[in-house]
Amino acid sequence: MAATAKQAWPTRKGSTSDKITEVLLYVWAAITLIVVLYPIYFIVIASFSDPAAVGNGQVWLYPKGFTFDGYLELLKHANIWIGYRNTILYTVVGTAIGLAVNLSAAYALSRKDLFGRKALTLFFIFTMFFNGGLIPTFLTIRDFHLYDTFLVMVLPFAVGVFDIIVARTFFQTSIPGDLWEAAQIDGCGNLRYYVGVVLPLSKAVVAVLALWIAVGHWNSYFNALIYLQNKNLYPLQLVLRDILITNQMQSGMGTGEAAQIAMRLANMLRYSVIVVSTIPIMCFYPLVQKYFNQGVMIGAVKS
């Protein structure tokens, strides 16, 4: 074995080629870091700069004409704060519902002694590949009187089949089967076992699912666009869409001093609103990262 391997892998002369590879690797890593970080960094420094300097291309490495005007402008827009409040509510309630629904289903499906396990699993998996589509779903939501309500944002689409598969795999591989047999002898029922034994042992997968579901709620605008009409229910992303995209297409029209000032403020707002809406969710990740690596790896092995 060793002999044939030696033939396949002739010995290299010294480590110079390895050293060059090493240097190239870190050059690549440095370029990648710049490409990833610079646009984000640019938005942050632009949010503290005079919009005229940003527009002229003078802002490259640090803020020019340092100002908080963009952030002060934020305070004047009540819809941003209403959107912020709504998004926090949707994220907290939606994540709680999503975790409860998906983890319980995943645990039940992970148990080999569940009668009808195959059929039930198929019942879930099938929805990943086939669905009724936009209009039939829309009509259903209306039939249930969920259109334009708080509930539509947190309840109807709480089931995440992919999340269930990952959690199921985790339960199957990291909760020893003997544990359930021992618990049964002690007269412990399924529900008490799930809440009292399985969940406390599964912090990693709970953290992973919480992150996925919370980020999904924080960042999505599709359901709100389709199912909400009342502006007081709008999540942050829909408000951001107005500020960053819809208004942007109409700007550049109109002249005169008032229009100029309005445009200046609108420009500053774009930078500050990106910073304020995106930083919280970016900071959330490192907090759960330690669980994350564990959880994903176990999920990744099979699924």
Partner 1 sequence: MRASQPNMSLQRALARIGRNWGLYLLLLPAVTLLICFTYKPMYGVVIAFKDFSPALGISGSPWAGLKYFEKYFHSYQFAVTIKNTLVISLYSFVLFPIPIIFALLVNQMRQNYFKRVFQTVTYMPHFISTVVMVGLMMILLSPGNGLIGHLYGLFGAEAPNVMGSAGLFSSVYVWSDVWQHTGWDSIIYIAALSAVDPSLYEAATVDGASRWQKIRYIDIPMLIPTAITLLILRVGGLLGVGFEKAYLMQNNLNISGSEVISTYVYKIGLLSAQYSFSSAINLFNTIINFVLLILVNWVSRRYSGQSLW
Q: Please list every residue from 117 through 136 that binds partner 1, using CB under 8 A.
A: 120, 123-125, 127, 129-136
CB of 262 vs partner 1, minimal distance in Å: 16
Question: Looking only at residues 19 through 48 of this chain, which bind partner 1 when binding is defined by CB under 8 A?
Answer: 21-22, 25, 28-29, 32-33, 35-37, 39-40, 42-43
Residue 156 gets which letter from DSSP? T
Largest CA distance in the chain: 83
Out of 45, 89, 96, 137, name the contact with partner 1 by CB under 8 A: 137
> Helices 78-110 and 203-219 sit at what angle, rounded to 10 degrees?
140
d(CA 187, CA 190): 10
Q: Is 301 in the site for partner 1 (CB under 8 A)?
A: yes
d(CA 35, CA 203): 35
Look at residues 228, 210, 259 and name the one whose alpha carbon lies nearest to residue 82: 228
- Considering only CA atoms, give the Rg of the chain: 26
Q: Is 49 in the site for partner 1 (CB under 8 A)?
A: no
Do the Cβ atoms of 32 and 47 come closer than 8 Å?
A: no
Out of 75, 78, 191, 253, name the contact with partner 1 by CB under 8 A: 191
Stated length of the chain: 303
d(CA 55, CA 50): 9
Question: Looking only at residues 66 through 105 of this chain, which bind partner 1 when binding is defined by CB under 8 A?
Answer: 100-102, 104-105
Q: Is 260 in the site for partner 1 (CB under 8 A)?
A: no
Q: Is 138 in the site for partner 1 (CB under 8 A)?
A: yes
Torsion of CA 36, 42, 48, 54, to 10 degrees: -170
Do the Cβ atoms of 236 and 87 come closer than 8 Å?
A: yes
CB of 158 vs partner 1, minimal distance in Å: 6
- # residues contacting partner 1 (CB under 8 A): 101
> Which residue number, 67 or 292, has a Cβ lying nearer to partner 1?
292
Question: Looking only at residues 155 through 184 of this chain, which bind partner 1 when binding is defined by CB under 8 A?
Answer: 155-159, 164
Q: Is 251 in the site for partner 1 (CB under 8 A)?
A: no
Question: Looking only at residues 200 through 239 of this chain, which bind partner 1 when binding is defined by CB under 8 A?
Answer: 215, 218-222, 226, 237
> Which residue number, 9 or 253, has a Cβ lying nearer to partner 1?
9
